[in-house]
Amino acid sequence: SERIRPVPHRPMDRLDRIFQEAQNRAASEDGGPKRGLEAALARDGEDDASKRAAMSVADRVLADYERGDYFSCLGLPPPDCDDAGRPVWDVTDAAISKAYRRASLAVHPDKNPTPEAKAAFDKLNDAVRALRDDVRRGEALRTFADAAFKEKCRANPQLMAKARKDQERRDAADYGAAIRAQRAQQLERAMARREKASAASRRRRGDEDASASSSDVSTDGDSDDAAREVDVQKKKGEESGGDRVEAERGPSSEAAVASGGGGGVK
């Protein structure tokens, strides 16, 4: 019998990392002024709105694309997350197409001849392809959901404990499903082996029956030939015996007839 290989649980590294970053950010905010990278990020966040307002449409598209923000490229709302950290984004394909048509008008080379517009138009086309591709869209959604979950955990650290329990339940369910799938595959392979062996056995029995049947037919044919030969010989013997009887009986009968005839005349 085949062994069922254990299915490892998915690691909790991502949730742990998110929670740690949220805790670090909360501690930094509560403990004093920001320094180093944290301060730089804060300044970038504060200046982001003013910088984007001063940028052209083409420059904004290029900047958003470089950050992997396909949603802002097209002017779509950013994804959110639920309390378990899963992505939430209810934008339809029709809305994506409409946003692309609206954004492409501003950077289309026929309407905006600048080099930045041509590059932005190419990036815009790749952005809409990314959001229509299940794999690339899933990666982008996961990235934004992680960022949103960090903020939620920073505001409410209890979400991390709840998310951890939810993750453990999902891991247990996935583990059970994987075990059931392995058992079903093993059963299917065993049934296939039994069916193959049964088919081979039926073929062997069929060959043996065909061989025995041909042997019986040959024996019956030989017996019929022998019986016909005996009948032929018997008929030949009867015919030759009759001829001898007629030959022996012929002259005496004629003499008797002649003698009888003479007596009658007298």
Give tens-digit pLDDT for 82-111. 887 889 999 999 999 999 999 999 899 888
CA distances 189 to 4, 186, 202, Å, are 14, 5, 20
Instruction: Encode 15-47: b = buried (16+ Cβ within 10 Å), e = exposed.
Output: beebbeebeebeebeeeeeeeeeeeeeeeeeee
- Look up residue 67 and give its DSSP letter: T
Whole-angstrom Cα distance, residue 34 to residue 23? 14
The first and second tokens of residue 74, run together, are: 């097209």
By three-state DSSP, how is residue 2 classified?
A: coil
Burial of 81 (0-12, 13-18, 19+ CB in 10 A): buried
Q: Residue 44: what pLDDT?
A: 52
Sign of CA dihedral 26, 83, 173, 131: negative
Whole-angstrom Cα distance, residue 256 to residue 193? 94
The pTM assigned to this predicted structure is: 0.48
Q: What is the pLDDT of residues 46-61, one digit of tens each?
A: 556 677 777 888 999 9
Q: What is the pLDDT of residues 146-175, one digit of tens each?
A: 988 888 888 887 877 777 777 788 788 888
In this model, does residue 214 exceed pLDDT 60? yes
Burial of 74 (0-12, 13-18, 19+ CB in 10 A): buried
Query: Of the given ranges (106-110, 139-143, 155-159, 255-259), which has the lowest mean pLDDT?
Result: 255-259
